[in-house]
Amino acid sequence: MIKRSGRRRGSPDTRESILEAARQLFADKGFDATTVRAIAANAGCDAAMINHFFGTKEELFRATLQFPIDPATEIPHIVAGGRDEVGQRLVAIFVKIWDSPTGAVGASLIRSAMSNDWTLRLMREFLITQIMRRVAIEIDLDPAEAPLRVSLVASQLSGLAMMRYIIKLEPLASLPAERVVALIGPNVQNYVTGSLAAAK
């Protein structure tokens, strides 16, 4: 029997119940189909509590994964200088974040998300709705091509994270950031603006 006093509304328990309900609904139904009201109902609290603890639904999603950066503030930097250099800039920002202390958080996030299907689903949903979608809009991709282009970019960047920061494969792991940008940027650029034609 838990005594449901007014005091409990702000307790760590409530916060954890909200996170738990959100993780489950985001993974099961997806981000778009999940309402704050539904999360509140599953967590057994008022929707206002979610706003109180986490702010927006986007911020709540970020909290469920303890995702170390805020896509809403970081992604707009990518386009700051025009489309032709977007590949380089994507790699530069990616490496800057991963080279910072945040990178260790990212590595442990990925490593633990790998451990079960459910967290993997949650991570995929986050990648699609919080990162890829924003990137596609920011760099103004043709909506018909955007999912393929962004998933190709994701294939290169996730592998860079894996080899440079998780497996720590040399010489890639110790290469200066600007070298990584010069080597990998053009390929990412190719995914953003190159041909997607079926024939080579």
DSSP H helices in 47-143: 47-54, 57-65, 71-74, 76-79, 86-99, 102-113, 117-126, 133-138
As measured in angstroms, the least distance from the Cβ of 41 to a second copy is 29
Report the chain's terminal Cα–Cα distance, integer Å: 66
**Pairwise CA distance, residues 12 & 18, whole Å:** 10
As measured in angstroms, the least distance from the Cβ of 79 to a second copy is 19
Tokens 């005091």 map to which residue?
7
Nearer CB in complex with a second copy: 137/162:
162
Nearer CB in complex with a second copy: 42/158:
158
As measured in angstroms, the least distance from the Cβ of 184 to a second copy is 7
Nearer CB in complex with a second copy: 60/123:
123
- Chain residues that interact with a second copy, rule: CB under 8 A: 88, 110-111, 114-115, 120, 123-124, 127-128, 147-148, 151-152, 154-164, 166-172, 175, 179, 182-187, 190-191, 196-200
Nearer CB in complex with a second copy: 69/182:
182
Cβ atoms of residues 189 and 153 within 8 Å:
no
